[in-house]
Amino acid sequence: MTEQLDHRLSDVQLAAALVRNAGGLALRMRQRGLQELRDTAAQKSSVSDVVTSADLAAESYVVEQLRRCRPEDSILGEEGAGYTGTSGRIWVIDPVDGTYNFYSGSTYWCSALALTDAAGVWPAGPDSLTDAAVLLGAIYQPQEEKLWLGGTLQAATLNGKPIVVDPCQHVGQLSAGTYIHPKWLGDPQAGGPWQRAAQLPAALRMLGSGSCDLGRVAQGELGMWFQHSAPSWDWLPGKGIVHAAGGDTAVVRVNGLDWFVAGPAVAVAELKAALAAGAL
């Protein structure tokens, strides 16, 4: 039985409990039967973009708790959950980020959410939330016992200890987390800008969970991060934590695609320029 949460919890306490419990629920389901999760998984946009019963169960849990504890807030979930409240605030939830990793038996996946001030932009759609103010981001990686928190309501922390982005400013001094689907590499629309940007960092990492990556940018383990077409649930939790950790973020449109960038301010500007140089 997954814990029922107290509505008197603060937003920070509630967010931390939600991602811990959702991540723990997904992990227990995987431990009971990874092959069953694989056998029943449904493919979405590609063979590496899948949804499992654990994603759905974890999202259902988070939605149930939010409807009880924050009935006036709106909800947007990766797996289809949606509710429009009256407060102007919206919880953007990703019950399992890095599902292909989760489904493959890797530890590099997490449960993530963001609480945003979305007054005036919701329910226009998830893309309208890109620039929303992130009151709080929460990311929990269960198998490594890592909980990142941060936003305008909360200083950036990892397991309760303060964190800051890498003090190096220039992209050539930094490692970069990134992701691009193989089919995009040969397409100049995305492959051109990505290759321009990918030549600049000291090293590249492609690990398969945007929120896990962004948590590590906030703590300085990764120098920066970039990816095109990141949905709100992959972007907003980490965006809030990176800002709280002293970093910068940006969205730049190139060849009709939005590129999302996070890291130290100078490096973000340098990477934006490199991406723009890949315009057709």
Annotated binding site for Mg(2+): 78, 94, 97, 234
Residue in 111, 122, 119 with CA at minimum distance from that of residue 79: 111
| 3-state DSSP assignment of residue 15 | helix
DSSP structure class, residue 118 = -
Residue 173: both structure tokens together: 């001094």
Q: CA–CA separation, 223 vs 56, rounded Å?
A: 32
How many CA atoms are closer than 13 Å to the CA of 104, on its beta-carbon side?
16
Pairwise CA distance, residues 266 & 23, whole Å = 34
β-strands 175-179, 110-117 pairing = unpaired
Distance of alpha carbon 225 from the chain centroid:
11
Where do we find the tokens 């654990």?
A: 54
Nearest to 108 by CA among 28, 215, 204: 215
Residues belonging to the binding site are 78, 94, 97, 234
Report, in angstroms and rounded to the nearest whole number, the Rg of the chain calculated over CA atoms.
18
